[in-house]
Amino acid sequence: MSLDRDVVGELETIVGADHVRTGRGDLEPYARDATPLFRGVPDAVVSPRTAEEVAAVLRLATRTGIPVIPRGAGSNLSAGTLADRGGIVLVLTRMDRILEISPDELLARVEAGVTTAALGEAAAAKGLLYAPDPGSRTVSTVGGNVATCAGGLRGLKYGVTRNYVLGTTAVLPTGEIIRTGGRLWKDVAGYDLTRLLTGSEGTLGVLTEITVALLPMPATTNTGVAYFPTLADAGRAVTAVIGDGIVPATLEFLDAKCIGAVEEYANLGLRLDAGALLLFGDDGAADAVERNLTRIGELCTAHRAMEVTLAADVARSDALLAARRCSLPALSRLGTLTILEDATVPRPRLAEMVGRIDEIAERYDVPIATFGHAGDGNLHPTCVVDRQDDAAIERAHKAFGDVFAAAIGMDGTITGEHGVGAAKLPYLEARLGADQMALLRRIKAAFDPAGILNPGKLGS
Amino acid sequence: MTTDRVTGRGIFDPELLDRCISCGFCLPACPTYAQTLDEGSSPRGRINLMRALETGELDDDDSRLREEASFCLGCRACEPVCPAGVQYGQLLETWRDHQWSGRRRPPLAQLLMLVASRTPLLRAIGVVRRHARTPSVPAAPTTLMLGCFERGLYPGVSRSARALLPDIAVPADQGCCGALHAHNGESERGVELARRLGEQLPGVIVTTAGGCAAHLTTVLGRDRVHELSEHLVKTGASPVGRLSVGGRRARVALQDSCHLRNGMGVFAEPRALISAVADLVAVPGEASCCGAAGTYSLLRPRDSRRILDPKLDAIEAADLDYVVAVNPGCLRQLETGLRRRSSKVRAVHLADLLAAAAGGTPLPRGRRWTLPRIRVPARRAGAARITGGPTA
């Protein structure tokens, strides 16, 4: 299917001919996001520069029934920007102005296409911290982060994207431009549409501008590492740390398979006899950070840690973090297809969940290694197979179906931070139930009566 | 589930294409994506184009496909930031082999490759231009590579390299390394020429061109090829002397050679050597492509200047005396750009800088003859320009 010539002409009038692309070769690069195995070629790629242009495109789409798929950097892992029904991919990367960094009000106002890293740097230049730090922060956009409620490594202490969104400018599918929230920490006038739009995955409105809360930049950060004979020991140590009144900024774990893969790849000198590696870190005033890290080390030792190392300096701290940073690169080299999931369970059940994942992997005969955020129970079971091996891919999908079911059975969820998109929509009802699914659809219809905005995802 | 298998025409090694996990981490590293903010001009987007070419979704004549095969600088800045270890440079070579086959190859690239393949012609140019030369030594442990165009454009570089490495052999009978061919759609010929050069120059080959070093390495292996700065650091040669300007230490910045940095991981070495004889100044963007990119500055002069201009702004704003290149293409690009602005900053090759510091001699003047200037319309309106470099 391709767009009517009149429609293309109208799009060109709205955003300028340079910013509407319909050639076969222009569309192909937008047929995928970062989700493996999903491909859908759009009919047009449109890059607006203002909220008004977005509004005009959406009015046209609502009138003609053409799907519109909002897209930032396309780094999502849920097929959330998949154009599997054709339509217009609306790329917001040209809206990349940082409008304001206010040290007085501790907030920043940015256009949706600003990258997370650019916001972080602009804030840091004024001694401020934008706390959410998703793994893709160098490429991901703030608009995409808000649309997916992106998480990151600092979830336990600092929360996730939703905890920092104060206000948005959003364009509704019917063309109205609304401003939700604003510059206020306290504002209970009306339903909390800011929170509703946060994590709505581009199905309710197109975010064009976002106001986020900033924090004072912590004076120091430091890191330590502990090895445990089993992941269950590491889990008990984490429970003990939090029970002791410490909320560390970083608490990351690698399972034994992950340690093996990282060591094979990067030769960091990791202990291969360990069942789990726990990375812990904190930030704040220097004396408090040192006190907390020392105490965490003691608690790890008390819970059967085989070895505990505290970083002596910043360079050493970076070296310790390298094990975590290398996890995905190391695992992805084991095959040509990497499926990275993010099932999440309550923190105390983390080790139990990893045990279940191992059983499931064995049952389906697929290699799954797990790393993730021990502080908030967010796991990243990662399956690596050969892209040409259909049978293995099929087994991997079945295995992940069981993983999601196991997570739900532990009061957990099918996705902690990646989102539902097209990839996890089939599993959503198991998590939410029929009543909530119906409510989601009614909410979707209230915002988008013509059903043009990112169809086949949330609310479908 | 949508099936998404990349199998088909056998143009690409499926293993290489499959390696890309489409995470997009390459986007911020790509100079051409920064120009357009269009996914199609990014490494991830281009790999998706290659996949579509492989599966037959796009045919060879697709205009965007052809444009992107040529628009890519081939700087490989996407490789060090890739978590999955995609060999983008290799994919690009294969892509251009296919895309630029037969009459589709740019005629200018064809001409340059023809010249570079003619060893007697290179030799004659070299003799006229008086590059460094020693009698042929069959069993020399290290030999200096002269390069194809480098010996004609910058013959002084080989003389400086010889001054720094007095024991090195410099036989005149040597051809082109084939990097030019590999990057312009003739990768088989590129491999053939590299092998032949490997036979002509026994032992360790020292080169003053980062781009040649990276290409030779892929054919002859890492152990047989040293780029000059790498060789000096590996052999423990410590630079002597110091470079002064007006009684103070010279302020010097490095422009990385893309293939040296991204393909071989050599970037600390030239900086260490410069710091030993001058004040090393960090300039924003020094690690990214200058737009020379082999034949790119000749084939796509307008795009090449769009890449270069912000770099020249940064160089002029940094109050430098010299900007050092470790590859002749980058040297020519910087020299031409700085001259066009009548900048007080001079572009020099690392070998010349070190030799001048060691010998207490002034740096050689720029080359005396230039390639014909290709007229390029003025920059786009709206592109920011930092003023501050003094103009004559």
Q: Do B18 and A336 make contact, defined as CB atoms within 8 angstroms?
A: yes
pLDDT in tens, B37-60: 999 999 999 999 999 999 999 999
Q: Chain B 30-59, CB below 8 Å of chain A: which residues?
A: 37-40, 42, 44-46, 48-49, 52, 57-58
Q: Tell me if B4 is assigned to some domain.
A: no
Query: How does pLDDT run across B224-235, given as a tens digit for each residue?
Result: 999 999 999 999
pLDDT tier at A292 (50, 70, 90 boundaries)?
Answer: very high
CB pairs below 8 Å between A and B: how many?
116
Residue at A62: amino acid letter: T
Q: Are B164 and B146 spatial neighbours (Cβ–Cβ below 8 Å)?
A: no
Q: What is the CATH number of domain A5-91?
A: 3.30.43.10
In a domain, B211, yes or no: yes
Q: Token pair for residue B316?
A: 């002029």
Which among B68, B83, B104 is the end of a domain? B104
Same domain, B112 and B228: yes
Query: Where is the domain boundary, B76, B104, B132?
Result: B104
B35 inside domain: yes
Give the closest-approach CA distance of A302 to chain B in angstroms: 36
pLDDT for residue B379 is more than 50: no
Instruction: Indicate whether B222 and B260 sit together in one domain.
Output: no
Q: CA–CA separation, B360 vs B348, rounded Å?
A: 16
B88 and B165: one domain?
A: no
Q: What is the domain class of A220-328 according to CATH?
A: alpha beta
pLDDT 10s digits, A22-76: 999 999 999 999 999 999 999 999 999 999 999 999 999 999 999 999 999 999 9
Q: Residue A29 and residue B83: Cβ atoms within 8 Å?
A: no
By C-alpha distance, the chain A residue nearest B65 is A25
Average pLDDT value for residue range A427-455: 98
Is B329 a member of any domain?
Answer: yes
Q: CA-CA distance, A145 to B312, in Å (whole number)?
A: 35
Confidence of residue B238 (pLDDT cuts 50, 70, 90): confident
Beta carbons of B144 and B169 less than 8 angstroms apart: yes
**Looking at beta carbons, which residues of chain B come within 8 Å of A388?**
5, 7, 14, 18
Residue B258: what pLDDT?
Answer: 97
Average the pLDDT over A164-183 and give the result. 98
What is the domain-level CATH number for residue B87? 1.10.1060.10
Q: Where in chain A is the domain with CATH 3.30.70.3450?
A: 220-328
- Judge whether B371 lies within some domain: no
Q: What is the pLDDT of residues B190-207, one digit of tens each?
A: 999 999 999 999 899 999
- Residues A393 and A389: their CA atoms lie apart, in Å, by 6
Verify whether the Cβ–Cβ distance B45 to A24 is below 8 Å: no
Determine the residue among A91, A336, A398, A425 to mutate to test chain B binding: the one whose Cβ has the most chain B Cβ atoms within 10 Å.
A336
pLDDT bracket for residue B380 (50, 70, 90): very low
Residue type at position A363? R
Separation between Cα atoms, residue B117 and residue A210, nearest integer Å: 57
Q: How confident is the model at residue B362 (pLDDT cuts 50, 70, 90)?
A: confident
Helix, strand, or coil here: A269? coil
Residues ≥6 apart with Cβ < 8 Å to B313: B384, B385, B386
Cβ contact A28–B46 (<8 Å): no
Q: Which of A285-299, A316-330, B5-19 has the lowest mean pLDDT?
A: A316-330
**DSSP string covering A378-394:** EEEEEEEE-TT-HHHHH
Any CB–CB contact under 8 A between B85 and chain A? Answer: yes
Q: Is residue B142 part of a domain?
A: yes
Mean pLDDT for A187-214 is 98
Residues B181 and B94 in one domain: no
Average pLDDT, chain A: 95
Interatomic CA distance for residues A134 and A145, integer angstroms: 8
pLDDT exceeds 60 at position A417: yes
Q: Is B63 on the interface with A (CB under 8 A)?
A: yes
Predicted local confidence at residue A69, as pLDDT? 98
Structural domain contains residue B192: yes
- How many angstroms separate the CA atoms of A380 and B257, rounded? 38
What was the pLDDT predicted at A411?
97
What pLDDT, in 10s, does the model give residues A361-402? Answer: 999 999 999 999 999 999 999 999 998 899 999 999 999 999
For residue B56, which residues of chain A lie inside 8 Å, CB to CB? none
CATH number of domain containing B273: 3.40.50
Residue B38 domain boundaries: 14-104
Tens-digit pLDDT profile for residues B84-116: 899 999 999 999 999 988 778 888 888 898 888
For domain A98-216, the CATH architecture is 2-Layer Sandwich (3.30)
How far apart, in whole angstroms, are the C-alpha atoms of residue B352 and residue B378? 32
In the structure, what pLDDT confidence band is assigned to residue B117 with cuts at 50, 70 and 90?
Answer: confident
pLDDT value at B390 more than 60 = no
Q: What is the pLDDT of residues A237-257, one digit of tens each?
A: 999 999 999 999 999 999 999
pLDDT in the model for residue A84: 94
A117 CB neighbours in chain B (<8 A) are 28
ipTM > 0.90 for the complex: yes
Average pLDDT along chain B: 88
Q: Please count the structural domains in chain B.
A: 3
Please check whether residues B115 and B226 belong to one and the same domain: yes
Mean pLDDT of A177-183: 97
Cβ atoms < 10 Å from Cβ of A175 = 17
Give the pLDDT score at A328. Answer: 84
Which residues of chain A are in CATH 3.30.465.10 domains? Answer: 98-216
In the prediction, which pLDDT does B4 show?
60
Does B347 share its domain with B326? yes
What is the model's pLDDT at position B381? 39
Q: Is the domain of B263 the same as that of B197? A: no
Of the given ranges (A93-97, A308-312, B61-65, B375-379), which has the lowest mean pLDDT?
Answer: B375-379
Is the Cβ–Cβ distance between B333 and B382 less than 8 Å?
no
Cite the residue boundaries of each domain of chain A with CATH code 3.30.43.10.
Answer: 5-91
Band of the pLDDT at B382, cuts 50, 70, 90? Answer: very low
